[in-house]
Amino acid sequence: MGLANLYLWSRLLSGMEVYSQRKRVLLLLVSWIMLLPLAVLGGSGNNTANATAPLSPSSRPKVVNIGALFTAKSVIGRSAEPALVAAIGDVNSDSSILRGTKLNLIFQDTNCSGFVGTVDALQLMEKEVVAAIGPQSSGIAHVISHVVNELQVPLLSFATDPTLSSLQYLYFLRTVPNDHFQMYAIADVVDYFGWKEVIAIFVDDDNGRNGISMLGDALAKKRAKLTYKAAFSPGASSSEIDDLLISVNLMEARVYVVHVNPDTGLSIFSKAKKLGMMTSGYVWITTDWLPSFLDSSDSVNPETMDLIQGVVALRHHTPDSDQKKMFASRWKNFKGVEIPSFNSYALYSYDTIWLLARALDLFFKDGGKLTFSDDPRLRDTNGSALHLSSMKVFDQGQKLLQILIGMNFTGLTGQIQFDSEKNLVHPAYDVLNVGGTGTRTVGYWSNYSGLSVVTPEIIYSKPPNTSTSAQHLYNVIWPGETVTPPRGWVFPHNGKPLRIAVPYRVTFKEFVHKDKGPSGVKGYCIDVFEAAIDLLPYPVPHVYILYGDGKRNPSFKNLVNDIVTNKYDAAVGDVTITTNRTRIVDFTQPYMESGLVVVAPIKELKSSPWAFLQPFTLQMWCVTGVFFLFVGTVVWILEHRHNPEFRGPPRQQLVTVFWFSFSTMFFAHRENTMSTLGRLVLIFWLFVVLIINSSYTASLTSILTVRQLSSGIQGIDSLISSNDPIGVQDGSFAYNYLIEELGVLESRIRILKTEDEYVSALEKGPQGGGVAGIVDELPYVELFLANSKCVFRTVGQEFTKGGWGFAFQRDSPLAADLSPAILQLSENGDLQRIHDKWLSNNGCSSQNNQADDTQLSLKSFWGLFLICAVACFLALVAFFCRVYCQFRRYDPEPEEQDISEPESVRPSRRPLSSLSFKELMDFVDKRESEIKEILKRRSIDSKRHQGQSPDGQPSSPV
């Protein structure tokens, strides 16, 4: 082929990102391979065919081919290749596994080239391998995954690209941790230190782009964000990297995540060191590439270590075990070792071979056979020089894949087991901090419990806990040799100060107004902001920009929206914190309490001839009167049988009840109580009367001596229920609140632009073209009332709660830093001093003293009435129980009956059911002493009859 055609094929291969054209790409690749010298290709194919010749069903094959795809001279390849060879040797020498079958490793060097790696992968598939290990490159993994899907060959990949999905690539099985988890670990570290903005520096290839995309998703869940993606090409020159770092250094974020390959990653830090970006205030976090480089050598050049001082890096966590220690002791004796030490990929390589060996052992025990067949879709056409039939389908590849997925054993890297998405279970990372001549572990991360200073193996034995309070790391030494966590951001060095919008107010200029001074604005809000800025440990260059035309108050809704659209960086002024606004911008801690209130005109109430009735509500008067009669009746019932003062003709008794009832109000009752129950009831009632009298006296005194003010509007409810116009301040959120939240018709609302319009509208009233009341925020109302000499008053209660704060763009770190500063101003009294400087201290009463407010209602006394009622009820129950017992012993027959008649001759006592109601009432009406006398006499007669002689004759008198 010509050079032009060769260039065309390479361009097509390097640009393969649309996977829906996989078959077309596959044919192009095969055509390139088959045009190589046929002697080489044919010889290789024949050898493979002979090595895997069909065997009888009763015997295992002697040799099983396994493919491996790595870049031999890379940091990962130098660790992976010796470990693969050593694992093959250990498996082949172990008689307990794969009895009689040897593994044959076919290693293909991808040479750090996506094109060469893809060609090598296709050549590997011609050799009838039962599984392929690798590649480490995500680009090659994406292409070869289509091939293994077609040929049903399991791919045990080291590519960490999170977009390599097991749903799309059925035969793709990742035997190293997915970068999905590594990016979530970085997000947890960022969240642990409270940073909100991150800049990603990465190689612009499949692995870099997809990994950083996952990092963005992980940060978003922590309410942080990637403010910039600084990508550079795989073969970027030194000047290109310089320009990239200079551009990111001009941005405000100082947290950098470096996601590159380990072979060229150090060049980033070399340039950063020269640019002064490895000093105090900077944060550098790397993925596992840096520990992979450092772990591959016993000692690193001191100059190299000086480049990465203070860097935080993640490394695959592998538990310390005897197996791992034995592997480390054998490392230098392995065949092909070129480096003094190894990284985590060596351990994963070793475990991958044992995973495949154990799976093959189960495969053969279950009757599996290594047979390959032609793919009818890859057949040679007439006259074609493409030997497509050289790539065959592994007939039982699906069975081997299912066995691999179901494996569960403990290897050098820990538990080897796969979840439903074909990822290793329990992914974990060591959190390392580079310092001095090496690294130290400051914690661990696992998807089980997040960040911890305890090893994941111990954490797994406890219930999972990912709460914020459970996240811990040891102290980190940051660049510049400081242990204080950097703020993570600074104001950019591009000469642009913070653009702060300030409302150009027409009313209530004490809060903020235009000024001829250097800043251009003055007021209460400006002084609070400047005082808070002065408390920050860093300078904040800023410029104030007036928002509005100065003819009317600006729309605060539009002001907040302009912050969202990046027209302004912040807003300083009387900006109310509302729910809708907090969804699109960030507010500081409120520096002024606020809420909506109603202002209305008031008039003084003149004294009324019936003022003595005002202390109690109508309900209270009625209940009190009823209880006077009720208690009087109860006392009459209890005293009627004992006390002659409560007896007599019915008219006299009725007068007595009324007199006694109401005379207790003044403690002037002359009747004495003789019964115990009557005295008990009277004690409770007199206590109630004492409380009622005292309360009535106090309330009446207040009504007659305190100035009474009244308004036709009692609060927001009465204002809404009327049809009168309602005034609101121009630009206030109260306009939308009344319409959207309270359902007030827009036609009822009047917009007032000046304080003079406030006064005029209230004085005119709804009948004169004014308003019945004004709904505004409390700070404005307090200032208005003070300026208007307290002619008007607020009515009702404050019906919303809120505050004023400074608004910033979403996730702005300055908003978070200013909140503690505002709290400090409040604690040290500066906030109050600023308030006293600008706002009047001559406040008006926030509530008018309305007559209804001083009235005493039943809810204040129902407890007393309840106690008295219970006492009366219990006394009546005791009284009637005693009457009933006496009545059972009482016989209403005439007492003149001859008691000398024999007992057998006298009639028996009548039953109670035969007694008439009149007889019962007569009994109740009898005096207590009379009843006792009758019962006593009957008791003596009964004893006398019991003492008669046996013949029925009475005994002789003594």
User: In whole angstroms, how far apart are CA 631 and each of 527, 674, 681, 878?
Assistant: 67, 16, 8, 16
* Contact residues for 911 (Cβ-Cβ < 8 A; gap 6+): none
Q: pLDDT tens, 325-362?
A: 999 999 999 998 888 899 999 999 999 999 999 999 99
What pLDDT does 187 receive? 97
What pLDDT does 669 receive? 64
Nearest to 926 by CA among 640, 636, 638, 633: 640
Tracing tokens 């920050």 back to the chain, one arrives at 536
What pLDDT does 53 receive? 41
What pLDDT does 427 receive? 95
What pLDDT does 28 receive? 40
Give the three-class secondary structure for 104.
strand
Q: In this model, does residue 148 exceed pLDDT 80?
A: yes
Q: How many residues does the chain have?
A: 958
Asked if 165 and 420 count as a contact pair (C-beta separation under 8 A), the reply is no
Q: pLDDT tens, 493-550?
A: 665 789 999 999 999 999 999 999 899 999 999 999 999 999 998 888 899 999 999 8
* Contact residues for 13 (Cβ-Cβ < 8 A; gap 6+): 25, 28, 29, 114, 115, 118
Rounded distance between C-alpha atoms, residue 762 and residue 768, angstroms: 10
Average pLDDT (181-190) is: 97
DSSP-assigned letters across all residues of 802-822: EEE--EESTT-HHHHHHHHHH
* Contact residues for 367 (Cβ-Cβ < 8 A; gap 6+): none
What pLDDT does 33 receive? 41
What pLDDT does 915 receive? 55
Asked if 278 and 253 count as a contact pair (C-beta separation under 8 A), the reply is no
- DSSP bridge pairs for 68: 107, 133
Our CA angle for 404, 104, 45, nearest 5°, is 105
Q: pLDDT tens, 569-583?
A: 999 999 999 999 999
Highest mean pLDDT among 25-29, 382-386, 697-701, 870-874: 870-874
What pLDDT does 247 receive? 93
What pLDDT does 629 receive? 84
Give the three-class secondary structure for 857.
coil
What pLDDT does 706 receive? 60
Give the least confident one: 129-143, 168-182, 196-210, 879-893: 879-893
* Contact residues for 431 (Cβ-Cβ < 8 A; gap 6+): 185, 189, 312, 313, 314, 441, 442, 443, 444, 445, 451, 473
Rounded distance between C-alpha atoms, residue 111 and residue 115, angstroms: 9
Higher local confidence (pLDDT), 919 or 839: 839
Q: In this model, does residue 61 exceed pLDDT 50?
A: yes
Confidence of residue 926 (pLDDT cuts 50, 70, 90): low
The two three-digit tokens of residue 133, written as one number:
């290990």
Q: In this model, does residue 476 exceed pLDDT 90?
A: yes
Give the least confident one: 476-485, 710-719, 859-868: 710-719
Rounded distance between C-alpha atoms, residue 186 and residue 218, angstroms: 8
- Report how many helices (DSSP H) and strands (DSSP E) the chain contains, helices first: 32, 33
Query: Residue 730 half-sphere exposure, CB side, CA atoms within 13 Å?
Result: 18
Higher local confidence (pLDDT), 553 or 12: 553
What pLDDT does 816 receive? 87
What pLDDT does 19 receive? 36
Average pLDDT (594-619) is: 79
Give the three-class secondary structure for 410.
strand
* pLDDT mean across residues, the chain: 83
Average pLDDT (388-417) is: 91
From the CA atom positions of the chain, what is the Rg in Å? 48
Average pLDDT (734-738) is: 91
Nearest to 187 by CA among 160, 222, 161: 222
Average pLDDT (797-822) is: 91
DSSP-assigned letters across all residues of 828-845: TTHHHHHHHHHS-S-PPP
Higher local confidence (pLDDT), 69 or 850: 69
Q: Is beta strand 131-133 parallel, antiparallel or unpaired with respect to 102-109? A: unpaired
Q: In this model, does residue 10 exceed pLDDT 70?
A: no
Backbone angles phi and psi of 351, in degrees to 5: -65, -30
* Contact residues for 957 (Cβ-Cβ < 8 A; gap 6+): none
Give the least confident one: 272-286, 482-496, 636-650, 825-839: 636-650
Q: Is beta strand 155-157 parallel, antiparallel or unpaired with respect to 172-174? A: parallel
Asked if 282 and 486 count as a contact pair (C-beta separation under 8 A), the reply is yes
Confidence of residue 554 (pLDDT cuts 50, 70, 90): very high
Give the three-class secondary structure for 303.
helix
What pLDDT does 329 receive? 94
Alpha helices per DSSP H over 808-927:
813-827, 830-838, 851-854, 862-889, 917-925
Rounded distance between C-alpha atoms, residue 632 and residue 662, angstroms: 8
Give the least confident one: 49-63, 802-816, 883-897: 49-63
Asked if 446 and 428 count as a contact pair (C-beta separation under 8 A), the reply is yes
Alpha helices per DSSP H over 517-645:
524-534, 556-564, 579-582, 618-639
Give the three-class secondary structure for 173.
strand
The two three-digit tokens of residue 269, written as one number:
């830090």
Confidence of residue 42 (pLDDT cuts 50, 70, 90): very low
Nearest to 356 by CA among 41, 97, 182: 97
Nearest to 75 by CA among 235, 348, 289: 289
What pLDDT does 907 receive? 47
Nearest to 626 by CA among 677, 661, 578: 661
User: In whole angstroms, how far apart are CA 807 and each of 227, 587, 733?
Assistant: 20, 5, 15
CA 761 to chain centre: 46
What pLDDT does 38 receive? 28
What pLDDT does 91 receive? 95
Average pLDDT (604-616) is: 71
Omega cis (within 30) before 57: no
Alpha helices per DSSP H over 495-602:
524-534, 556-564, 579-582
Backbone angles phi and psi of 882, in degrees to 5: -65, -40
Q: In this model, does residue 426 exceed pLDDT 80?
A: yes
Alpha helices per DSSP H over 343-432:
344-365, 397-405
Q: Is beta strand 802-804 parallel, antiparallel or unpaired with respect to 592-594? A: antiparallel
The one-character DSSP state at 525 is H
Asked if 832 and 596 count as a contact pair (C-beta separation under 8 A), the reply is no
- The helix or strand, by DSSP H or E, that contains position 678, with its residue range, turns out to be helix 676-705
Q: In this model, does residue 253 exceed pLDDT 70?
A: yes
Backbone angles phi and psi of 830, in degrees to 5: -65, -35
Average pLDDT (945-954) is: 54
What pLDDT does 405 receive? 95
pTM for this model (two decimals): 0.67
Confidence of residue 39 (pLDDT cuts 50, 70, 90): very low
Rounded distance between C-alpha atoms, residue 335 and residue 338, angstroms: 9
Rounded distance between C-alpha atoms, residue 537 and residue 487, angstroms: 10
Asked if 573 and 799 count as a contact pair (C-beta separation under 8 A), the reply is no
The one-character DSSP state at 765 is T
Amino acid identity of residue 121, one-letter, is: A
Give the least confident one: 123-127, 473-477, 910-914: 910-914
- Start-to-end CA distance of the chain, whole Å, equals 161
Rounded distance between C-alpha atoms, residue 95 and residue 219, angstroms: 50
Q: In this model, does residue 925 exceed pLDDT 70?
A: no
Give the three-class secondary structure for 607.
coil
Average pLDDT (221-227) is: 91
What pLDDT does 897 receive? 46
Average pLDDT (88-109) is: 92
Give the least confident one: 274-278, 400-404, 601-605: 601-605
What pLDDT does 662 receive? 72
Rounded distance between C-alpha atoms, residue 449 and residue 470, angstroms: 8
- DSSP bridge pairs for 231: 202
- DSSP bridge pairs for 105: 66
Nearest to 318 by CA among 285, 350, 340: 350
Higher local confidence (pLDDT), 663 or 826: 826
Tracing tokens 């130290």 back to the chain, one arrives at 440
Q: pLDDT tens, 682-703?
A: 888 888 888 888 888 888 877 7
